[in-house]
Amino acid sequence: MTKTFKTDSRQMLGRLRDVMAEDAAGQARLDQITRLIAEEMRTEVCSIYLFRDEDTLELCATEGLNPQAVHETRLKLGEGLVGRVARKGQVVNTDDAPATKGFRFMPETGEEAYSSFMGVPIQRLGEKLGVLVVQSKQSRLFSEEEIYAVEVVAMVLAEMAELGAFVGEGAAMSARHQQAKLFRGTTVQEGTAQGHVWLHEPRVVVTNPIAEDPVRELERLHEAVETLRVGVDRMLSTAGGDKDQLEVLEAYRMFANSKGWMRRMEADIDSGLSAEAAVEKEQSAARARMNQVSDSYLRDRLHDLDDLSNRLLRILTGQGAETGAEMPSDPILIARNIGPAELLDYGRSLKGIVLEEGSVGSHAAIVARALAIPLVIHAARITTEALNGDPILVDGDQGLAHLRPDDAIVAAFRDKMAMQATAQERYASIRDKPATTRCGQTVKLKMNAGLMADLPSLESSGAEGVGLFRTELQFLIRSHMPKRAELSELYSRVMDAAKGQRVVFRTLDIGSDKVLPYMKATDEPNPAMGWRAIRVGLDKPGVMRMQLQALIRGAKGRHLSIMFPFVAQRSEFTAARAEMDKALERERILGHPLPVSIEVGAMLETPSLAFAPDDFYREVDFISIGGNDLKQFFFAADRENERVRKRYDTLNVSFLNFLEGIVYRCATTGTPLSFCGEDAGRPVEAACLTAIGFRTLSMRPASIGPVKSLLRRLDLGELRGVIHAERDSGAQSVRDAVMEHLRGKF
| Active-site residue list | 363, 676
Site string for ligand PEP, 443-482 (x = CB under 6 A): -------------------------x-x------------
Stretch that binds ligand PEP, among 245-253, 280-288, 381-389, 626-634 (CB under 6 A): 626-634
Three-class SS state of 676? coil
Closest distance between ligand PEP and the C-beta of residue 131, in Å? Answer: 48
- As a residue count, the chain comes to 746
Which residues 197-256 are close enough to bind Mg ion by CB under 5 A? Answer: none
Looking at 396, 467, 626, 705, which residue binds Mg ion (CB under 5 A)?
626
Cα separations in angstroms, 486 against 301, 391, 418, 492, 585 = 36, 41, 42, 10, 22
676 forms part of the interface with ligand PEP (CB under 6 A): yes
Q: Select the binding partner of residue 685 from Mg ion, ligand PEP, none (C-beta < 5 to 8 A, by kind).
A: none
Stretch that binds ligand PEP, among 105-113, 188-196, 625-633, 641-649 (CB under 6 A): 625-633
Looking at 628, 644, 658, 722, which residue binds ligand PEP (CB under 6 A)?
628
Q: Select the binding partner of residue 221 from ligand PEP, Mg ion, none (C-beta < 5 to 8 A, by kind).
A: none
Stretch that binds ligand PEP, among 64-72, 81-89, 124-132, 623-631 (CB under 6 A): 623-631
CA 466 to chain CA centroid, nearest Å: 28
Largest CA distance in the chain: 96
CB-nearer residue toward Mg ion: 470 or 741: 470
Three-class SS state of 75? strand
Site string for ligand PEP, 576-615 (x = CB under 6 A): -----------------------------x----------
Closest distance between ligand PEP and the C-beta of residue 573, in Å? Answer: 16
Closest distance between ligand PEP and the C-beta of residue 520, in Å? Answer: 21
627 forms part of the interface with ligand PEP (CB under 6 A): yes
CB-nearer residue toward Mg ion: 395 or 605: 605
CB-nearer residue toward ligand PEP: 61 or 365: 365
CA distance 185 to 628: 22
CA angle 165, 279, 207 (to 5 degrees): 30
Best CA proximity match to 504, nearest among 697, 679, 704: 697
CB-nearer residue toward ligand PEP: 87 or 470: 470
First and final C-alpha spacing in the chain: 76
Size of the site for Mg ion (CB under 5 A): 3
Closest distance between ligand PEP and the C-beta of residue 625, in Å? Answer: 7
677 forms part of the interface with ligand PEP (CB under 6 A): yes
Stretch that binds ligand PEP, among 192-200, 483-491, 620-628, 719-727 (CB under 6 A): 620-628
Closest distance between ligand PEP and the C-beta of residue 695, in Å? Answer: 18
What letters, b where the CB count within 10 A reaches 16 and e where it falls short, cover 251-288?
Answer: bbbebbeeeebbeebbebbebbbbbbbbbbbbbbbbbb
CB-nearer residue toward Mg ion: 188 or 350: 188
Residue partners of 299: CB distance under 8 A and separation at least 6: 290, 293
CB-nearer residue toward ligand PEP: 29 or 470: 470
Stretch that binds ligand PEP, among 86-94, 303-311, 316-324, 621-629 (CB under 6 A): 621-629
Size of the site for ligand PEP (CB under 6 A): 10
Site string for Mg ion, 566-605 (x = CB under 5 A): ---------------------------------------x
CA distance 633 to 273: 58
Closest distance between ligand PEP and the C-beta of residue 281, in Å? Answer: 46
Angle, nearest 10°, between helix axes 541-555 and 570-590?
Answer: 60
CA distance 27 to 14: 20
- The pairing of beta strand 181-184 with beta strand 400-403: antiparallel
Which conformational region is residue 102 in: left (phi greater than 0), alpha (psi within -120 to 50 degrees), or beta? left
Best CA proximity match to 746, nearest among 720, 709, 717: 709
Q: Select the binding partner of residue 676 from ligand PEP, Mg ion, none (C-beta < 5 to 8 A, by kind).
A: ligand PEP
Best CA proximity match to 693, nearest among 465, 436, 441, 434: 441
Residue partners of 684: CB distance under 8 A and separation at least 6: 651, 710, 735, 738, 739, 742
Q: Name beta bridge partners: 602.
A: 564, 623
Angle, nearest 10°, between helix axes 716-728 and 735-742?
Answer: 150
Instruction: Please tell me the number of Cα atoms within 13 Å of 161 on its side-chain side.
Output: 27
CA distance 690 to 576: 30
629 forms part of the interface with Mg ion (CB under 5 A): yes
31 forms part of the interface with Mg ion (CB under 5 A): no
Identify the H or E element spanning 331: strand 331-335
CB-nearer residue toward Mg ion: 200 or 535: 535
Which residues 390-429 are close enough to bind ligand PEP by CB under 6 A? Answer: none
Closest distance between ligand PEP and the C-beta of residue 458, in Å? Answer: 18
CA distance 188 to 167: 37
CA distance 152 to 125: 14
CB-nearer residue toward ligand PEP: 370 or 379: 370
Cα separations in angstroms, 145 against 24, 42, 137, 351 = 31, 14, 20, 50
Closest distance between Mg ion and the C-beta of residue 376, in Å? Answer: 24
Stretch that binds ligand PEP, among 44-52, 316-324, 582-590, 622-630 (CB under 6 A): 622-630
Closest distance between ligand PEP and the C-beta of residue 601, in Å? Answer: 13
CB-nearer residue toward ligand PEP: 276 or 509: 509
Closest distance between Mg ion and the C-beta of residue 625, in Å? Answer: 10
CB-nearer residue toward ligand PEP: 681 or 706: 681
Q: Name beta bridge partners: 184.
A: 400
CA distance 442 to 706: 16
Q: Select the binding partner of residue 395 from ligand PEP, Mg ion, none (C-beta < 5 to 8 A, by kind).
A: none
Cα separations in angstroms, 255 against 258, 259, 626 = 5, 8, 46
Site string for ligand PEP, 506-525 (x = CB under 6 A): ---x----------------
Three-class SS state of 3? coil
CB-nearer residue toward ligand PEP: 20 or 468: 468
Closest distance between ligand PEP and the C-beta of residue 541, in Å? Answer: 21
Binding site for ligand PEP (CB under 6 A): 468, 470, 509, 605, 626-629, 676-677
Binding site for Mg ion (CB under 5 A): 605, 626, 629
